[in-house]
Amino acid sequence: MLFRSSILVGIGRGAKEGVLIRDADVLQRMSQVTVLLIDKTGTLTEGKPAVNTVIPLKEHSRETLLQLAASIEIHSEHPLAVAICRKAQEQGLELLPSSDFQSMSGKGVLGVVNSQSIALGNQALLSELQIDPEEISNQTLLLRQEGQTVVYLCIDKTVCGLFGISDPIRPQAQEAIRDLYREKMDVILATGDHSATAYRVANALNISKMEAELLPEGKNKKIQDLQFHSVCRVFPVFSRDVTGHSSHARFLVLRALKYDLNSISFSFLCHVVCVFAVMLACYFIKPF
């Protein structure tokens, strides 16, 4: 009875912090967590990316690039795709008919607009399509050093433009990371973004361990490797393509982790003492 009551207190405390706990066993297992793998977009950042920079190449205009990109990205639910479509809408650009849409998980999207093959994505997508972006490496490096995620736009296998997309770091993230370190938690930033962009976020939050340019399957492998080669318990806080959590829920989990051992355990103790006191009172106090 005492154990069940304590679990209820823990679940109630989690709900107060914005975390819904559906399995009471999670509270017990959470106390054993020693390593936390954290995604970047929507977890440490606000999950509301915006297009900051559009760099046209090959004599294309910014409007043309944005129109082509949005005409393909309208079929995607990825946060970066939403940012591109929002930018096109803000500029009043009309979307063009598109076909043969294909999503490449962790890399980008493909499609056809005006009989032109369009590819939008990161460097991993370009590598798969055997497109060499070396001639614009200086421009991409500058964007990444500013903390922007670079999205390449290719027309018929030629890089014709760059999009620089930024996502602000959550105001609460630094405090959450600091408290996790205080609880002796080992924090690792694991992201699919380029190492330069990831480093800027990690450096801003004082995260010393980082794994960048990981595909979804790479993140899963990282978790499995840590679990296999160590005695630690690993807790992943990743994006929907790995765990199914929404962006908001992921940060709530991150924020609430710091209450695991101190606040929740203290609530357990207080509740156990109160219940025990009531039981003693019922036993010793006899009715007249």
Q: Assign 3-class secondary structure to 140-151.
A: HHHHHHCCCEEE
8-12, 64-68, 260-264: range with highest mean pLDDT: 64-68
CB of 152 within 8 A of CB of 122? yes
30-44, 108-122, 185-199: range with highest mean pLDDT: 108-122
Report DSSP letters for 98-116, one per residue.
EEEEEEETTTEEEEEETTE
Which range is least confidently modeled, 33-37, 59-63, 77-81, 273-277? 273-277
Query: In this structure, what token pair is assigned to residue 266?
Result: 């203290």
Quick: pLDDT tens for 138-147. Answer: 888 889 888 8
Query: In this structure, what token pair is assigned to residue 74?
Result: 């309208």
Active-site pick, 23, 25, 39, 260: 39
Length in residues, the chain: 288
Residue with the larger pLDDT of the pair 67 and 214: 67
Domains of the chain, earliest start first: 2-45+170-270 (3.40.50.1000), 50-166 (3.40.1110.10)
pLDDT > 90? residue 221: no
Question: Has 39 been annotated as catalytic?
Answer: yes
Quick: pLDDT tens for 252-286. Answer: 445 444 444 444 444 444 444 444 444 444 444 44
Distant-in-sequence, close-in-space partners of 26: CB < 8 Å, separation ≥ 6: none
pLDDT > 70? residue 127: yes
Task: Give all strands (DSSP E) within the chain, no chain letters.
Answer: 33-38, 50-56, 98-104, 108-113, 116-121, 149-155, 158-166, 186-190, 209-211, 233-237
Dihedral sign, CA of 264, 269, 275, 277? Answer: negative
- Whole-structure pTM value: 0.67
Q: Are strands 149-155 and 116-121 parallel, antiparallel or unpaired?
A: antiparallel
Match 């190449």 to its residue by tokens. Answer: 57
Counting Cα atoms < 13 Å in the Cβ hemisphere of 257 gives: 33
